[in-house]
């Protein structure tokens, strides 16, 4: 018999859905039923989500100054609030947990109005706009990179880390195997839903600048946008090299496990997954990210020595080629980076977050929960 329903709400990107998925698995193991509220974008990420049901509730972000657009967004939010209200009254969840993104706003607002226990999980070092708006209303906040002290919001924050999916935990069991000079070198490149365009242009050029011997060693996995596929595949064909090019990889955890080096953006889930698996990385924060949250996430891993952070404006194809030329012949350096990254990982984050969800659902305060951890 189920202990009750937990309603998870997450925006439709991997950065929001993946941590929610990791928590869902833990809650299912503990005897809870899980439902997910998200948007239509989440279809590609939610295929393995262990939810009894996935609900789509109308929502919108108020990012325009156009009065008509603002009025339309407010109407959509109002419609979403009514839909979320009906959903929560029907499901009667023991708690509603938001993971950021504008689809979390209606269900969390409805939960707080109805007196249902509620909390947030913020993946980034800088709180996103949706979570920032909801933070004063919820009972507790779990943080991936947030600090536990400093302001009123911090007083109800617990630094749980970012939960990672079971596939990442399985990949983390594979030790880092350095590529020796002359051996194949697995390079994984990805940019997230908004940041892949830069790598689509920069990486083929950088690889073309490598010596023939180094280029022959490369085995590249690269995520590219659908509109860039033809261009990148054409470059790969010209370079006559081994590469898997696709808009999305269902087996990315396994590819990360086999990677000798990762070049990527620094979204919170990405940084957390690289840390748990323990792979050396070149992190290139998305320069247009709101509040520069990706730069703050990257700094957390760089501080341990597990990654090198380079601003996009400073990372030319020539510099990428120079970095690859050096590290492909320095397996010892990459091994040290891999070990440092692993030390920064928090593989138990999902368990800790599940503990916190159960405590808040049971009516405990953040202070009481922190005392049980001490």
Q: Are residues 229 and 355 in the same domain?
A: no
Average pLDDT over residues 70-81: 73
Q: Are residues 220 and 318 in the same domain?
A: yes
Q: Are residues 103 and 132 in the same domain?
A: yes
Q: Are residues 297 and 366 in the same domain?
A: no
Helix, coil or strand: residue 183: coil
* Ligand-binding site membership of 162 (annotated): no
Between CA 91 and CA 95, with CA 93 as vertex, the angle to 5 degrees is 155
* Statement: residue 269 has pLDDT above 60: yes
Q: Are residues 172 and 298 in the same domain?
A: yes
Helix, coil or strand: residue 94: coil
Kindly list the distances between the CA atom of residue 138 and the CA atoms of 17, 133, 366, in Å, as whole numbers in the listed order: 20, 10, 11
* Ligand-binding site membership of 194 (annotated): no
* Ligand-binding site membership of 267 (annotated): no
Q: Are strands 157-159 and 281-283 parallel, antiparallel or unpaired?
A: unpaired
C-alpha R_g of the chain: 21
Helix, coil or strand: residue 122: strand
**β-bridge partners, 95:** 6
Q: In angstroms, rounded to a whole number, what is the distance separating the alpha carbons of residues 197 and 293?
A: 19
* Ligand-binding site membership of 13 (annotated): yes
Region of 235 please: left (phi>0), alpha (psi -120 to 50) or beta: alpha
Q: Are residues 13 and 62 in the same domain?
A: yes
Distance of alpha carbon 363 from the chain centroid: 29
pLDDT of residue 11: 84
Q: Are residues 21 and 145 in the same domain?
A: yes
> Taking the model in full, what pTM does it have?
0.84
* Ligand-binding site membership of 294 (annotated): yes
| pLDDT greater at residue 236 or residue 275 | 275
User: What is the number of structural domains in the chain?
Assistant: 2
Q: What is the pLDDT of residues 312-358, one digit of tens each?
A: 999 999 999 999 999 999 999 999 999 999 999 999 999 999 999 99
* Ligand-binding site membership of 14 (annotated): yes
Q: Are residues 124 and 111 in the same domain?
A: yes
Contact 268, 144 (CB under 8 A): yes
Tokens of 111: 């939960």
Q: Are residues 142 and 45 in the same domain?
A: yes
Helix, coil or strand: residue 173: coil
What residue numbers bound the domain in which 255 lies?
A: 168-344
Query: In the chain, what are the helix, strand and coil shares in percent, each to the nearest 5?
Result: 50, 15, 35
Q: Are residues 262 and 363 in the same domain?
A: no
Average pLDDT over residues 17-43: 88
Q: Are strands 185-190 and 307-309 parallel, antiparallel or unpaired?
A: unpaired
* Ligand-binding site membership of 15 (annotated): yes
What is the domain-level CATH number for residue 96? 3.40.50.2000
pLDDT of residue 60: 65
Quick one: CA dihedral 139, 97, 373, 148, positive or negative? Answer: negative
pLDDT of residue 76: 72
Q: What are phi and psi of 82, to 5 degrees?
A: -65, -45
- Tokens 């913020």 correspond to what residue? 122
Q: In angstroms, rounded to a whole number, what is the distance separating the alpha carbons of residues 40 and 335?
A: 40
Q: Are residues 206 and 299 in the same domain?
A: yes
Q: What is the pLDDT of residues 328-337, one digit of tens each?
A: 999 999 999 9
Q: Are residues 158 and 183 in the same domain?
A: no
Q: In angstroms, rounded to a whole number, what is the distance separating the alpha carbons of residues 129 and 62?
A: 10
Between CA 100 and CA 110, with CA 104 as vertex, the angle to 5 degrees is 140
């Amino acid at each position: 018999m189920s202990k009750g329903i937990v309603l998870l709400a997450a925006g439709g990107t991997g950065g929001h859905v993946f941590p929610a998925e990791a928590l869902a698995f833990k809650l299912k193991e503990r005897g809870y039923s899980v439902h997910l509220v998200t948007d239509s974008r989440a279809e590609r990420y939610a295929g393995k989500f262990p939810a009894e049901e996935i609900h789509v509730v109308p929502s919108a972000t108020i990012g325009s100054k156009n009065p008509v657009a603002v009025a339309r967004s407010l109407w959509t939010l109002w419609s979403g609030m009514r839909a979320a209200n009906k959903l929560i009254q029907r499901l009667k969840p023991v708690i509603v947990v938001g993971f950021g993104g504008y689809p979390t706003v209606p269900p969390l607002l409805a939960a707080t109005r109805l007196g249902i226990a509620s909390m947030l999980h913020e993946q980034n070092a800088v709180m996103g706009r949706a979570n920032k708006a909801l933070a004063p209303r919820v009972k507790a906040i779990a943080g991936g990179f947030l600090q536990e002290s400093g302001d009123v919001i911090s007083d109800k924050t617990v630094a749980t880390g970012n939960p990672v999916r079971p596939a990442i935990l399985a990949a983390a069991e594979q030790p880092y195997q350095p590529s020796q000079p002359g051996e194949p070198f697995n390079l994984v490149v990805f940019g997230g839903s908004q940041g892949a365009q830069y790598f689509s242009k920069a990486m083929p050029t950088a690889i073309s600048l490598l010596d023939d011997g180094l280029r022959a060693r490369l085995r590249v996995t690269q995520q590219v946008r659908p509109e860039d596929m033809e261009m990148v595949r054409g470059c790969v064909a010209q370079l006559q090299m081994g590469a898997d090019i696709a808009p999305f990889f269902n087996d990315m955890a396994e590819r990360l496990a086999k990677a000798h080096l990762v070049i990527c953006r620094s979204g919170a889930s990405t940084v957390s997954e690289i840390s748990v698996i323990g792979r050396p990385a070149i992190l290139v924060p998305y320069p247009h990210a709101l509040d520069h949250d990706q730069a703050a996430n990257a700094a957390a891993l760089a501080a341990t020595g597990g990654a090198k952070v380079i601003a996009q404006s400073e990372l030319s194809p020539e510099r990428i080629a120079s970095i690859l030329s050096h590290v492909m012949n320095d397996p010892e350096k990459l091994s040290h980076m891999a070990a440092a990254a692993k030390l920064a990982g928090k593989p138990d984050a999902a368990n800790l977050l599940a503990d916190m969800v159960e405590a808040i659902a049971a009516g405990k305060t953040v202070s009481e929960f922190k005392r049980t951890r001490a």
